[in-house]
Amino acid sequence: MPRTISYSQAINEALTEEMERDERVVLMGEDVGRMGGIFGVTPGIYEKFGADRAIDTPISEMLIVGGAVGMAITGLRPVAELQFADFIFNAADETFSKMSKWRYMHGGQFTVPMVLRLPEGATGGGGAEHSQCPEAALLEHPGSHIVVASNPADAKGLLKAAIRDDNPVAFFEHKGLYAMKGEVPDGDHLVEIGKADIKRQGTDVTIVAWGKMVGLSLKAAEQLQKQGISAEVLDTRGLRPLDTEAIFASIEKTGRLIIAQEAPKSGGGASEIAAIVAEEALDLLEAPIIRVGAMDVPIPQNAMLEALVLPTSADIERAAISMLR
């Protein structure tokens, strides 16, 4: 029977179950062990597995990612956490080059089976360097999967699948979802990486989203229904691999596409998806694509200004109404 648990508990369960299943799985990062993580996601893991498998690291993103790469290519399956997704730029070479490219640069002599956990997103006053959703930064660095979970069931199932994958996986967790509760299946729950999910069926417009924007898209769809507009919400569950077949199938039905992301509108995953649709499925559309995203400014420290900058369900709703007109 499904159980109702939080997003953070789902991640904790995924880590615990995989560490129990495979002794090669280790957790590492700043304060992930004794403290249980600065967001309280990993309590109990240190007590259960000890300091050799729940490793508290120095404050060095280069060490965390580079160390995880070294562990991965020599037989372990590390799950490394950066305290904020923004800090991938502090470990740019290790993330974009070593993690993503080394399997290919060495002719497949080894794999890099590691997961890089990346808490992302704005939650009310974190400021420009602690509030970003930088998933698209990895798009121009092929070799690593880009996974984003929008609910507890996917958080658990996708993380378990990521840990078992022989490819490096950048696993983005929105900080604003940690307290979100939802049903999670019992047993060895896995979710296929690269497989999109229709969260709501619709016939008039397709809303493609991932992460926290899925919930906002569903809220917008509920409001649109009251106005006689049937919106389909498709959760990509990440950006690479991208389930283009699911996107094309949805817009073939609706003829209209809105892409919603929390990141600034320019240069994000929405732009990439829009380009793919324009190149490969333009004939399916009855209206121009609309992207919904944050303003193209650094995320403000002030919580009220932050709210002004970020995309909302009302923005998605207005985009759909404008498109249908």
Which are the catalytic amino acids? 130
Residue among 149, 44, 33 nearest 80 (CA): 33
Give the bridge partners for 309, in sequence order: none
Contact (Cβ atoms closer than 8 angstroms) between residue 262 and residue 213: yes
Which residues, 6+ apart, have CB-to-CB distance to 152 below 8 Å?
A: 5, 6, 7, 9, 10, 180, 181, 182, 183, 184
Quote the CA–CA distance of 179 and 144 in Å, as a whole number. 28
140 Cβ contact list (under 8 Å, min separation 6): none
The Cβ of residue 123 has, within 10 Å, a number of other Cβ atoms equal to: 18
DSSP secondary structure letters along 53-113: TEEEPPS-HHHHHHHHHHHHHTT-EEEEE-SSGGGGGTTHIIIIIIIHHHHHHTTTSS---
